[in-house]
Amino acid sequence: MEPTIAWQDGHVTALDQAALPHEVRVLRITTVDEMVEAIGRLAIRGAPVLGAAGALGVALAVRQGERDGWDGARLAAEIKRIAEARPTAVNLRREVGAAAAAIPLGAAAVEDLAVRKLEEAATASIRVSERGAAYLREACDAAPGPLRVHTHCNTGALACLGWGTALGVVRALHNAGVLSHVLVDETRPLLQGARLTCWELRQLGIEHYLVCDGAGPFMISQGMADAVVVGADRVAANGDVANKIGTYSLALAAHRAGIPFVVAVPESTIDSSTASGQAIPLERRREEEITVPAAPAGTRAVNYAFDITPAALVSAVVTEDRIILNGRWPS
Ligand code: MRU
């Protein structure tokens, strides 16, 4: 498979995730405009990959600024556009900030830092995956057979590099021979579950079944999953979790059914400067993403891309370094 995102001879290459799975198209990104556009239309997406793209975007901006003779104010304005290309995933802002701080050291230093961020994201994802799988095996030790895991959106290599987070946990369970199958929410309206997660699971040879978003909570209530595992775009200081719209209803269902609801994230997704979920900016996208093609012309829509799951509904947040249980966050 082509790498999800990479730095190559002074520009960025990225798999166009908006075109998958029907077309495998590699984007060549050389300007800030192209990077902002690719992030905005979700050709580049998933919190850890957005972080990597942010750092690479700063490296691009520095090169473009040298080419086009930008002054400091223009460079800062272009970097701000990258940081604000999407609001919810804290990784984007965080890594843009880290790369921008390296600018006084020169273009090569920014590029080195951005490439290092890619490697760090891949390494962290494998550690999150193994830790999460070990936790789940313990938490589900009463399950009668191999584990049935419900997941939402896309959290594999496409979103994270390496193994992914929630999908990395699934992969580690599969490698250990203790996974039965995965239930994959289609993830309306942009279908990251149907398009991307099913594509990745198929390549990995992991048994999976696609389900409508609305079916998930009901299927959980019927005992059809042993655990729910998801990623996140931001975890607030109190443990509240922002993730793809539809996550909250799975958490409620898991809570009621008494099965683990696990959030797998790199430490870079934890935002200790945001007190609670109420303060996390939630992206609202174009109405047409929902209304076209089914609704009558002129129908209005409210298109939240993310929701907040309160810490009290989260059994565990698993990172590469630690496991935080039952919303017990250090105050
Ligand atoms: O809108 P997207 O596709 O960028 O949303 C992605 C998600 O919600 C993922 O669950 C999240 O970024 C975690 S990726 C490990």
* Burial group, residue 320, by CB count within 10 angstroms (0-12, 13-18, 19+): buried
* Domain 125-325 falls under CATH 3.40.50.10470: yes
* Domain 5-120 falls under CATH 1.20.120.420: yes
Residue 292: both structure tokens together: 């076209």
Q: At 324, phi and psi to the nearest 5?
A: -105, 120
Span from the CA of 178 to the centroid of ligand 1 (angstroms):
26
Residue whose tokens read 């309160």? 310
The pTM assigned to this predicted structure is 0.97
Instruction: Write out the residue limits of the CATH 1.20.120.420 domain(s) in the chain.
Output: 5-120
What atom of ligand 1 comes closest to residue 166's alpha carbon? 15
Residue 80: both structure tokens together: 């701000």
Among 213, 226, 233, 240, the one annotated catalytic = 233
Instruction: Write out the residue limits of the CATH 3.40.50.10470 domain(s) in the chain.
Output: 125-325
Return per-residue pLDDT of the chain as tens, 331 residues: 778 999 999 999 999 999 999 999 999 999 999 999 999 999 999 999 999 999 999 999 999 999 999 999 999 999 999 999 999 999 999 999 999 999 999 999 999 999 999 999 999 999 999 999 999 999 999 898 999 999 999 999 999 999 999 999 999 999 999 999 999 999 999 999 999 999 999 999 999 999 999 999 999 999 999 999 999 999 999 999 999 999 999 999 999 999 999 999 999 999 999 999 999 999 999 999 999 999 999 999 999 999 999 999 999 999 999 999 987 776 6
Span from the CA of 237 to the centroid of ligand 1 (angstroms):
19
Residue 154: both structure tokens together: 């896309």
SS3 labels along 197-250? HHHHHHHHCCCEEEECCCHHHHHHHCCCCCEEEECCCEEECCCCEEEECCHHHH
Concerning whether 71 is annotated as a catalytic residue, the answer is no
Residues lining ligand 1, Cβ inside 6 A: 42, 45-48, 89, 153, 155, 159-160, 165, 192, 231-233, 243-244, 305
* Burial group, residue 178, by CB count within 10 angstroms (0-12, 13-18, 19+): middle
Residue of 15, 20, 45, 167 best suited for mutating to test ligand 1, as the one with most atoms within 8 Å of CB:
45
- pLDDT in the model for residue 148: 98
323 pairs with which residues across the strands?
Answer: 318
